[in-house]
Amino acid sequence: MKLHGKNLVAGQWETGRMGLPFQATNPVSGEKLETVFQEATKKQADTAVTQAGKAFQSFRLKSPGERAAFLETLAETVEEQADAILAYAHLETALGEERLRMEMLRTINQPRLFAELIREGSWVDARIDLPEPGRKPVPRPGMRSMLQPLGPVAVFGASNFPLAISVVGTDTICAFAAGCPVIVKAHPSHPGTCELTAEAVIKAIKAHKLPGGTFSLLHGKNHEIGQSIVRHPDLAAIAFTGSLKGGRALMDASAARERPIPVFAEMGSINPVFLLPEALRDNMESIAEGFFRSLTMGNGQFCTNPGVLVAIDSPKLDTFVERVAELIGKATPKTMLHTGIHQGYSQAVHSMCGNPGVRIRARSGVAPDPARLEAEILLLETNLENWSNSPQLRQECFGPASILVRLNEPDEIHQFANNMEGSLTATLHGTPADLEVFHRLQVLLEPKTGRIVYNGFPTGVEVGYATHHGGPYPATSTGAHTSIGIDSIHRFVAPTCYQDCPDAQLPTELKDANPLRILRKVNGRTTKETIHP
């Protein structure tokens, strides 16, 4: 596969070679991949955002149908390029063909799903309060409002989803669907995958004669290029998926801007799994197997990986631990995504194992090979007091390790919930009787978690209307928003209200005739009816 390693600035591959060179690494072999990429310069970042600001003026005025057609073409151009992208993505990430093919399916479905959403059109949340010219003491004006795009969005892709949360991942697709140009900061661990995907984006942009500034792809191994993008005055919003450290740096950078802008960062989450007594008694075997599968899925490199098990001391819990230990013992370590993640995991695990209150309950049978960036699979154990007093144990450990917090008595489960940080998910394994007895646990979890899973496991997020992949800090920067699911488009829009606006000047969605036949809230009533002035 011949790549050129260049930056895409406002729709053009830059020909000059000015930035610092870097190469991606094959995580399995440790060998550097052939293509030399160059980091983008500050000037390129400035141009990309400035041009995005210019492109916004026309891109946001495209009709929903035109934007939908663009997204559908994008799905096609990515699909045409899929085999090449998949082959390269495996070289750069070692995620395996099967997993990557599943991810590609989701990646191609996403633009189609959002095309459907914006073609239908009701998502803009049109509201119409009719005027009352005769109201006393003053007439009531007519007010209409709808969601409109914010402007250029910077997207920082994730290393663990090189397709579905990267160049044409949810963030980019939502931004395009809303009418926002995108500047992608390519993840340095899979720059080639990014380049190949970006080629598909340009094809779609050219096919629809959109301005070049609609899309840029900038490379960078260090944080400077990201900071240059984030500091640019024309930028309107930031989307990020990755570590707490990386996300917080972007939050801080936005807060330090002259004009702060919204940062939608999906960061660190412990995703506790609560094993309630009856469920453990009745379904120990299937819970153990399900837990093992969830823990090791994607080699533990999921934001919803179950990092903590919480259960009340009992003989059945010992049997459960033995069963999990057996499964882990038979498993072989797998290669992690890149050196940074491997190092972070090794250090976190080393520090957790060094905690005097922590016991190692299970480890993968074969020793991991650090040269191949392999991760040991681990089940650790501690008690509530030690967990509560050890900051290291209370935060996300990104990889296939989980820690069992063994409780001495039932009420400790509420103390755990009270003390835990915000999390993307929490999981309850409970019979109907368990769930009734521990109802207070659910109540405590509701304000702390974005999604509560019952008798299942947190890995794998459905893309739907009810999806909420969010949660209070440190799980995300803004717990009210979701980075996955239909509602994720709401991150990149804000309402505009029109007071006493003549019909001719109103956006199509708000006109009396309701030409798009969308659902609107008229005087508070949800309806598709037209308005007779």
Q: Which is nearer to its own copies, 127 or 190 (CB)?
A: 127
Catalytic pick from 39, 303, 412, 509?
Answer: 303
Q: Which is nearer to its own copies, 28 or 143 (CB)?
A: 143
CB of 226 to its own copies, least distance (A): 18
Whether 303 is catalytic is yes
Whether 497 is catalytic is no
Q: Which is nearer to its own copies, 30 or 456 (CB)?
A: 456
Closest to 52 (Cα-Cα) out of 247, 194, 185: 185
Q: Which is nearer to its own copies, 142 or 340 (CB)?
A: 142
The per-residue DSSP string of 371-387 comes to GGTEE--EEEEEEHHHH
Residue at token pair 């919003």 = 237
CB of 319 to its own copies, least distance (A): 25
Closest to 498 (Cα-Cα) out of 129, 62, 140: 129
What secondary structure letter does DSSP report for 180? -
The per-residue DSSP string of 33-70 comes to PSPPEEPPPHHHHHHHHHHHHHHHHHHTTS-HHHHHHH
Q: Which is nearer to its own copies, 1 or 480 (CB)?
A: 480
Q: Which is nearer to its own copies, 22 or 156 (CB)?
A: 156
Catalytic pick from 266, 374, 376, 509?
Answer: 266
The per-residue DSSP string of 385-448 comes to HHHHH-HHHHS---SSEEEEEEESSTTHHHHHHHHPPPEEEEEEE--HHHHHHTHHHHHHHGGG
What phi and psi, each to the nearest 5 degrees, are found at residue 155? -115, 120
Structure tokens at 140: 């009531």
CB of 104 to its own copies, least distance (A): 14
CA atoms within 13 A on the CB side of 381: 17
CB of 72 to its own copies, least distance (A): 19
CB of 240 to its own copies, least distance (A): 14
| Count of Cβ atoms closer than 10 Å to residue 502 Cβ | 7
Q: Which residues lie across from 185 on neighbouring strands?
A: 156, 218
CB of 308 to its own copies, least distance (A): 18
> Residues 386, 411, 416, 302: what is their CA dihedral angle, to the nearest 10 degrees?
110
Catalytic residues: 266, 303
